[in-house]
């Protein structure tokens, strides 16, 4: 099985488009993508300095457009094939943060145009949210997780990205981040990141609300490839669920460590990171050390031939079947949860009601997407949840 990794904000570098413009159609693609995003992506990606491409409003569509162009240049990925969440196929796709919009397009949930347009709206909305309060992010490398958790609570910070490979990105007010750097947990290094604000925290709530008001106009398709979510590393079963998670992740932590664990459990044999590549490849290599999984960062045109070889190898390989031990039922909306009166261990048929989510505006039902056994409730009556938050675990029903 081949994994495709789509990077997020922070992966950008000055001049990152320059060497790719030698490829046929590159210049016109980025002019077209820039028209959709209402930003001069071609200039930003060639002559823009580090400060210019740090701007969240333009960085996000630039990164997504670049990844999508190189995916197209690779001639597409294995498939498309139809699958269910219980059956893995020859490719699995995962994006990091805004890279999840790239992943959604590669999985067939969104068109390339819709992915770029939604990314541009997301970037502008998050930039506006960043301007409201001086916040930022820092990478914490190494250290004891319990000591880090205690330090974050002490300083009023949150873990915004749990990336795997011993890396956690924390976020919050700038003075709190400075205090953490001055007094880091034992054996940990704290590195401030060049980002505009505290992404994936409640500081981004205005941006999330803006996207919530827009996505109802989209009509997502069902995933035609195995698509993993940053929320919990689980496969997304429907286009609607993928879209809901793309909105909720704006204020929710990125669990890329869970995505890497799922890919390892799926039996991934190789991984390709789309440009601007490097960050996710490094995480994967550290997390998968000793597994023999080949990880390729497509850093320049010279890497395309090897990427094509890895894709072609998967086209010739028999489809792998994957039956996960359990699946997560997630909240379809934000609100207060009212679980159904079902005891753990109860068999539930596909479509069985599992409760509801109540907000001031509406009540949304929660049901089982497939038949299985209720393994564990992850919430209690009256708990507050966001869209995409896990509610229960089901052991899937397996046909013998």
Helices (H), the chain: 26-37, 41-46, 56-73, 99-106, 112-130, 145-155, 174-182, 205-212, 239-248, 256-266, 279-287, 304-315
CA–CA dist 35, 389 (Å, integer): 35
Q: Is 97 a catalytic residue?
A: yes
Of the candidates 265, 233, 260, 273, which has an alpha carbon nearest to the alpha carbon of residue 106? 273
The pLDDT value recorded for residue 80 is: 41
The pLDDT value recorded for residue 320 is: 44
The pLDDT value recorded for residue 322 is: 44
pLDDT at 399 over 50: no
Catalytic residue among 97, 248, 252, 281: 97
Confidence of residue 397 (pLDDT cuts 50, 70, 90): low
Q: Is 200 a catalytic residue?
A: yes
Mean pLDDT across 267-296: 94
Catalytic residue among 67, 83, 96, 200: 200
Mean pLDDT across 313-336: 64
Q: Is the peptide bond before 80 cis (omega within 30 degrees of 0)?
A: yes
Q: What average pLDDT is seen over the chain?
A: 88
């Amino acid at each position: 099985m081949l994994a495709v990794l789509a990077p997020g904000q922070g992966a950008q570098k000055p001049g990152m488009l320059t060497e790719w413009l030698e490829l046929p159609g590159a210049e016109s693609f980025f002019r077209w993508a820039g028209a959709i995003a209402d930003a001069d992506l071609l200039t930003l990606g060639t002559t823009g300095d580090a400060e210019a491409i740090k701007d969240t409003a333009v960085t996000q569509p630039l990164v997504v457009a670049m990844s999508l162009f190189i995916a197209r240049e690779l001639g597409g990925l294995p498939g498309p094939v139809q699958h269910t969440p219980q059956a893995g196929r020859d490719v699995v796709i995962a994006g990091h943060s805004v890279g999840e919009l790239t992943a959604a397009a590669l999985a067939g949930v969104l068109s390339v145009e819709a992915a770029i347009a939604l990314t541009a709206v997301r970037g502008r909305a998050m930039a506006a949210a960043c301007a409201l309060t001086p916040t930022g992010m820092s990478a914490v490398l190494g250290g004891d997780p319990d000591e880090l958790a205690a330090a974050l609570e002490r300083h009023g910070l949150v873990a915004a990205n749990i990336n795997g490979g011993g890396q956690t990105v924390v976020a919050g007010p700038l003075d709190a981040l400075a205090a953490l750097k001055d007094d880091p947990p034992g054996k940990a290094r704290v590195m401030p990141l060049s980002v505009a604000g505290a992404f994936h925290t409640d500081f981004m709530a205005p941006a999330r609300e803006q996207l919530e008001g827009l996505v109802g106009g989209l009509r997502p398709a069902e995933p035609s490839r195995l698509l993993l979510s940053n929320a919990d590393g689980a496969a997304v079963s429907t286009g609607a669920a993928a879209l809901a998670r793309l909105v909720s992740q704006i204020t929710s932590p990125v669990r890329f460590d869970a995505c890497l664990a799922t890919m390892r459990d799926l039996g991934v044999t190789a991984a390709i990171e789309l440009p601007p590549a490097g960050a996710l490849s490094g995480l994967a290599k550290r997390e998968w050390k000793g597994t023999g999984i080949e990880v390729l960062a497509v850093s320049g045109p010279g890497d395309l031939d090897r990427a094509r070889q890895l894709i072609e190898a998967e086209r010739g390989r028999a489809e792998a079947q994957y039956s996960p031990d359990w699946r997560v039922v997630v909240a379809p909306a934000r609100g207060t949860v009212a679980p159904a009166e079902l005891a753990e261990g109860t068999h539930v048929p596909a479509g069985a009601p599992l409760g509801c989510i109540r907000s001031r505006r509406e009540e949304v039902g929660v049901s089982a997407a497939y038949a299985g056994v209720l393994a564990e409730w992850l919430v209690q009556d009256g708990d507050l949840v966001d869209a995409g938050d896990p509610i229960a675990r089901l052991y899937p029903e397996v046909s013998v």
